[in-house]
Amino acid sequence: MKKLCLLVLLLIPCRSGALGAGAINMVFNTSARAAGMGDTGVAVPWGLDADHWANPALLAFRPGVHYRSIESQLARGPLDGNYLEMGIQQAIDENQQELGDFHAFARTKSWGVGVDVVQVAEEILGWREGRFSRYVSLAGWMTWHDFEDQLVFDPLLQDSGGSGSGDGTAKSMGYAVRVTPYDGARGTEMPDNCPMGVRVSLAYGASVQNKTQDFIFHSGEPTGDPFPRQYVSGGGLNAEVAFTAGMHEKWQGTPTGFFLAVFDPLISFTRTAQNIEPGFVYEDGAWCYEPDTSDREDENSRGWELGPANIYFLRRGRVEAVYGDVDGDTRAGGWNIQAGRFGGFRKDWAVVPQASGLPTVRRKTWTVWADPGKLWVPCSDSHPNTRRWWPETDHRRVA
């Protein structure tokens, strides 16, 4: 039975634990998996936790419904006046008189769409499924963001031109290209009776994050703070040993076929690299939106991931950012438990560096996903009206 997922919609409520000027929570990566690989996720379409924050195009590689929760320390160590604690705060005036409590927060709500145009073309033109998408994927689209914060207790403000809250809208857009020059797991490059094959893929991705002409104004400031626009680009290499299509077809609809899907690929290795360039500069006493081409503010990262049996994942990486005095290693791990191709649960953690002299911070995410289209499927082509609850094996891997 031919199946195709064109769009993926995602709602992401995101809160930060601390905030500097300029909606810094909007550059906070919500993927502990990417964080463990040096915060490199813009060109990683492989796996069940694609980094849609780094590149909205990666939404197209993960059909179904996904829910992700992240827990993280945003900063540790001595903090100066540039940081603001979040949550329930006590308001105190200039005379040290308590005025009551207020809720300080920074919140971003996002939703997005991703499309793989190669799969769309196969469907529209009636081509055999996987005729071209087996070898290449070209995905793109965007996410939309609504930002809001409350940083100051409004009655404390002395002016009449503003408030302690700010808001604005922005969007992120990107594309990703995946090429698979060799795919022994499809069965054509290997003997039909071979149970496993090697697949090698390359990817390149780029995105523009938080693009807008809005500025964030607090307390009647004449010039607001810019949204943290940035340009992200990078590449990835993936090699894996997977069960062949012949094996999946042989055991389709049986418990053996179910477990083949659970442990597929049997082993995988991913290598990544990424560059981030700021998209705003300070000129003539004001902020303006344009690429910072000086290279002094760039962040360069690299990392890798090793995944045996599609269950446990080991990750390492390195982050180098001169402007933030960051030059340190990342380390991470994760667990994945899935029910065939129908759904699953994964938990990932990462330890990432801060500026020189400060301790590392820890991030944790857990994700639940489901693809209902894989659950209620025909038992066979000859009996299309007979239904079974056993999840169908996905014979085509687009990434």
Between 58 and 77, the more confident residue is 58
Segment 242-247 mean pLDDT: 83
- CA dist 390 and 78 (Å) reads 54
Pick the residue with more confidence: 290 or 23? 290
User: Which element (helix H / strand E) includes 34?
Assistant: helix 32-36
The closest alpha carbon to 211, from 235, 238, 231, 236, belongs to 231
Q: Which of 21-25, 126-130, 308-312 has the highest mean pLDDT?
A: 308-312
Indicate the residue type of 339.
A
Q: Is the pLDDT of residue 111 over 90?
A: no
Task: Kindly state the average pLDDT of the residues 382-387.
Answer: 36
- Report the predicted TM-score, pTM, of the whole model to 2 decimal places: 0.79
Output 130 or 34, whichever has higher pLDDT: 34
Task: Name the residue ranges covered by the structural domains of the chain.
Answer: 10-74+86-216+226-388
One-character DSSP codes across 255-323: HHHHHHHHT-SSEEEEEEEEEEEESEEEETTEEEES--TTSTT-EEEEEEEEEETTTEEEEEEEEEETT
Q: Please tell me the predicted confidence (pLDDT) of residue 117.
A: 94
Q: Which residues of 83-113 are buried (b: 16+ CB within 10 A; e: fewer)?
A: ebebeebebeeeeeeeeeebebbbbbebebb
Q: Does residue 208 carry a pLDDT above 90?
A: yes
Segment 291-318 mean pLDDT: 92
Q: How confident is the model at residue 160, as a pLDDT?
A: 41
Distance set, CA 99 to CA 86, 92, 94, 95, 316 (Å): 17, 6, 11, 11, 48
More confident site: 296 or 208: 208
Q: What is the pLDDT of residue 87?
A: 60
The per-residue pLDDT for range 149-160, each reduced to its tens digit, is: 776 655 544 444
Kindly report, residue by residue over 21-66, the tens digit of the pLDDT.
357 777 778 899 999 999 999 999 998 788 888 999 998 887 778 8
Query: In b/e form, how buried is each residue of 344-382, taking b as 16+ CB within 10 angstroms?
Result: bebebbbbbbbeeebebbbbebbbebebebbbebeeeee
Quick one: pLDDT at residue 16?
Answer: 34
Mean pLDDT of 198-222: 86
Rounded to whole angstroms, how far apart are CA atoms 152 and 168?
A: 17
Share of the chain above pLDDT 70, in %: 73
Number of other residues whose CB lies within 10 A of the CB of residue 204: 15
d(CA 105, CA 49): 27
Beta bridge partners of 106: 149
The answer to whether 42 and 51 are in contact (CB under 8 A) is yes
Cβ proximity of 234 and 217 under 8 Å:
no
Q: What angle do CA 353, 21, 323 make, to 5 degrees?
A: 40
Helices (H) and strands (E) in the chain, counts: 4, 20
Q: How far apart are CA 379 and CA 395, in angstroms?
A: 15
Q: Is the pLDDT of residue 174 over 90?
A: yes
Confidence at residue 183, expressed as pLDDT on a 0 to 100 scale? 87
